[in-house]
Amino acid sequence: MKHEVAKGRGATLQIEGRFESVARERIDDGWGTADEELPPFKTTVTVERAKSVIQRQDASNPLFSQSLNAYRGCEHGCIYCFARSSHGYLNLSLGLDFETKLFAKPDAAKLLRAELAKPSYRCAPIALGTNTDPYQPIEREWKITRQVIEVLAECKHPLSIVTKSALVERDLDLLAQLAQDNLVQVYISVTTLDAELAHKLEPRASSPRRRLQAMRVLNEAGVPCGVLVAPVISFLIDAELENVLQAAHEHGARSAGYSLLRLPYELKELFEDWLATHYPLKAAHVMNRLREMRGGSDAGLGGYSRGNDQFSELLAQRFQIACGRLGLNLDDMPLDTGSFRPPSRAGQMALF
């Protein structure tokens, strides 16, 4: 198999989605075209007309009960992103299609306002960035995330944000306003401090140094900004856990979390190809350790659990010890939901 690395892209394989009825294979036709340099993959953005934008989660989810994603697909190109598999529902590849064929919801703020105005709505923090990054590069032009935050700020509605982009600094005015009323929590995901490794893992996300700078900017402005070491990948970045937490603490973080790598559906094949391309000598070790931490077989690779084997337990202990030493996660104050005020309904409906 020929592994290909496109400049600025993460996937090394254009794998078919699990719902596609045909498979495509590159072959040598005798004219030398199989080895021709192909044109670069350009990013396209398609408008998605959604009917609603708030996604409710299963009641057993301890992290958040509802979320909002302004985009499908993500130009950051993180090779490990579990959301890649969702592109299969669009009959698109979770490989380069996920990074280049994006979908935007320009009516997200309008739809959000309508949902918040319903008499049946019950306030609970809305999580931004649970599936694709709300501050990926196309947000600079589309500004959908900012429009959503404007609505939430107007209604004094709590929210949380997870991002790998320093673009979050752009919305400091809104976030600082929300922070004054305990209505926002930001987490910046830092996978590794190694810039070269980060560029391979997350080719279009902000550099680790820049993410830490954004963390400092937010915390100094009074916006609580923690760190997520996510995902932890054995033999690649697990040795950096304490160093990432230390760097985040030095940049003002007072809260932290981590998660193991998960590879649902075809993402396992995509990630294995990436490993074979960039780290062939470590590939087997990485996958074998991941299987051990996920129950011993491929069946558990897509799960959410942190594992119950000795390696998972050791990682959890390291995390707890480092957090204790740095004073992280001492203040666990839930976001305020009591200040929420529904947006007024326009027209005569506002009289009722």
Q: Could you read off the pLDDT of 217-275 as tens digits, one per residue? A: 999 999 999 999 999 999 999 999 999 999 999 999 999 999 999 999 889 999 999 99
Is 240 buried (19+), middle (13-18) or exposed (0-12) by CB count in 10 A? buried
| pLDDT score, position 265 | 85
Nearest-angstrom CA–CA distance, 315 and 320: 9
pLDDT tens digits for range 27-40: 444 445 445 555 56
> Can you say whether the dihedral through the CA atoms of 100, 106, 111, 112 is positive or negative?
positive
Distance between CA atoms of 281 and 299, rounded to whole angstroms?
A: 24
Distance of CA 312 to the CA centre of its chain: 22
Helix (H) or strand (E) holding 145: helix 144-154
In this predicted structure, the answer to whether residue 283 has a pLDDT above a threshold of 80 is yes
Look up residue 30 and give its two tokens. Answer: 């005798």
pLDDT single digits (tens) 175-228: 999 999 999 999 999 999 999 999 999 999 999 999 999 999 999 999 999 999
Q: Look at the chain and count its residues.
A: 352
pLDDT of residue 347: 41
Higher-scoring residue by pLDDT: 104, 350? 104
Q: Which residue has the higher pLDDT, 136 or 308?
A: 136
CATH architecture of 41-331: Alpha-Beta Horseshoe (3.80)
How much is the mean pLDDT over the chain?
Answer: 88
The values of phi and psi at residue 55, to 5°, are: -100, 125
Phi and psi angles of residue 242, each rounded to the nearest 5 degrees, phi first = -65, -35
Please give the Cα distance from 187 to 184 (Å, whole number). Answer: 10
pLDDT higher than 50, residue 128: yes
pLDDT at 30: 46
Residue 346: the pLDDT is 55
Does 13 have pLDDT greater than 70? no
